[in-house]
Amino acid sequence: MYGFDSTFWLKLLHLLLILTVYFVLMISFNAIMRRWLGVEKRKAFSHNHVNDKHKKIDWSIRWFFIAMMVIGGFINVTRIPREPYLLLQPWFLLVVLIFVTETVRAVMEKGYAKNPNAYVFTVYQLIFTLILLILLYTTDFFGIL
């Protein structure tokens, strides 16, 4: 049978709605926490490294995870009849990458940032993001997937 399932468009609409709510929650949380802690807004889609040491560590982590995604892709392709390894799935590696890079950012901000509340903002942001992602994953996007 060709074409879409009869519920495809409804599921897509629900998924877009949940993603919109997710991004609105993240933007609102970040704005409130920035104002409350007196932290400057970071540039969108920028790395915002604290210093050169942070930049080197961050890029080392990124290259490691890129290599893990490539290796994981090759390993999981060979396991096609069976279940792929969860720890090598790209979406799982991306979540771990976010957690590791933001943890490194918080540590570097604690030691080197001009604003003493910068690391607190990063930690709160990381915790909030992980709670939302775990909520979405454990509920299968609230039953959509």
In a domain, 54, yes or no: yes
Count up the domains in the chain and report the number. Answer: 1
Range of the domain at 19: 8-143
Q: Which of 132, 106, 96, 19 is nearest to 54 (CA)?
A: 106
Q: Identity (one letter) of the amino acid at 104?
A: V
Dump the DSSP string for 21-40. Answer: HHHHHHHHHHHHHHHHHTPP
In a domain, 68, yes or no: yes
In a domain, 136, yes or no: yes
In a domain, 79, yes or no: yes
In a domain, 1, yes or no: no
In a domain, 3, yes or no: no
For 66-77, how does the pLDDT look when each residue is reduced to its tens digit (9 = 90+)? 999 999 999 989
In a domain, 116, yes or no: yes
For 6-58, how does the pLDDT look when each residue is reduced to its tens digit (9 = 90+)? 788 888 888 898 889 889 999 999 999 999 999 998 887 777 899 999 999 99
Q: What is the mean pLDDT of the chain?
A: 89
pTM for the complete prediction? 0.83
- The 8-class DSSP code of residue 114 comes to S
For 90-126, how does the pLDDT look when each residue is reduced to its tens digit (9 = 90+)? 989 999 999 999 999 999 999 999 998 999 999 999 9
The pLDDT of residue 124 = 96
In a domain, 2, yes or no: no
HEC-encoded secondary structure of 57-94 = HHHHHHHHHHHHHHHHHHHHHCCCCCCCCHHHCHHHHH
Do 122 and 102 form a contact (C-beta atoms < 8 A)?
Answer: yes
